Amino acid sequence: MKDHQTNHNDVLTTMCAVGRPLSMIVGPPQRGVGPLPTARLIVDKATRDRIVIFDPSLAPHLRRLVRSADVRPWYCETPRYLIVLTPEWMAATFGAGANATQLWERCPPLWQRLAPAAARYGSNETWWSLNIRDAALFAQPRIVWSAASVAPRFALTEPGWLAGPGTCHAPGSFFLLGILMSRQAWRALTIECRAGNVYRLLPERVGQLPVPEANDADRATVESLAQRIATLAHERAVLERQFTQRLVKDFGPPGATPGVCLERWWDLTFDALRSAITERFGGDIPARFREQWAAQHADAVARRVALSDTIALAEDALNTRVERLYGVAE
């Protein structure tokens, strides 16, 4: 145990000698937006579209919201939006005496979403008016991560996206994404952030991670690799989702979900896929379509394998480059 701790200390000492803490480079990381007065301020795309179609001027006030579950290794996808009606917007739109009636008259679809929560608040209380501290920070891409995780899950957001409850964030770039997603950075974070069976990646702890100095060539290489991996990881996720959706659409009843087995269709042989469809939806692939589906399944599996292999090679190259920057390359 003593030797293990000594090795940990040596790793951190070596990393600190060649870099400065993340918080000194980009500023202190922060927690995501929250807590919210009501979950009804979070809406799906269909609700967002109904509100914006009725009142297009509200479009800038429904902002993409990245929740903890939306953060994947290298990328994030979010189907949710946060209704952001700031006190400044309320005052400029309705004057000092803003109330629910004015909000209803301006956009009934918006108020229909918020009305069920209104009973918990006073009639003159503008509880739906959300004040996001330093909202201008989100105008630029941010590195975002889950505050609790069992594996490295850092991603770079699009400009304007908000980091939601359960996440943390810091100013971002593909260079920093590559550093944070590297094997060496995760090794350091697991030393400092372990809490039982998970890692508590609190802003102040991640902010202490040393970021290595890098010349222009090394920085460009790390940036290029990180951007390529992020693109490939997202492409793989789209492939997985689209094939899963086709399975559910073609073989499941309305409103069906794929279940755990079919969500990992790439791990199944075609015969196992047929069995999983039968077990989940109560019917096999019709005989006249089996040859077609067998070919489509094989093609999708092959494409996913190719993407995964390419990602693995790029991650190996990235890890080697970052370890050299930290001075710990074997």
Render pLDDT for 120-178 as a digit per residue (tens, 0 to 9). 887 677 888 877 767 778 889 999 999 999 999 999 999 999 999 899 999 999 999 99
Q: How many residues does the chain have?
A: 330
Query: Would you state the pLDDT for residue 329?
Result: 67
pLDDT beyond 90 at 18 = no
With beta carbons less than 8 A apart as the criterion, state whether 226 and 321 touch. no
Query: Would you state the pLDDT for residue 197?
Result: 85
Query: Where residue 6 falls among pLDDT bands split at 50, 70, 90?
Result: very low
Q: Between the CA atoms of 118, 123, 124 and 130, what dihedral angle is there, to the nearest 10 degrees? A: 0
pLDDT beyond 90 at 274 = yes
pLDDT beyond 90 at 100 = no
Considering only residues 291 and 8, tell me which one the structure prediction assigns the higher pLDDT. Answer: 291
With beta carbons less than 8 A apart as the criterion, state whether 192 and 180 touch. no
β-pair type (162-163, 62-66): parallel
Residue 155 CA to residue 184 CA, distance in Å, equals 17
With beta carbons less than 8 A apart as the criterion, state whether 167 and 67 touch. yes
Render pLDDT for 281-299 as a digit per residue (tens, 0 to 9). 999 999 999 999 999 999 9
Q: Percentage of the chain surpassing pLDDT 70?
A: 95
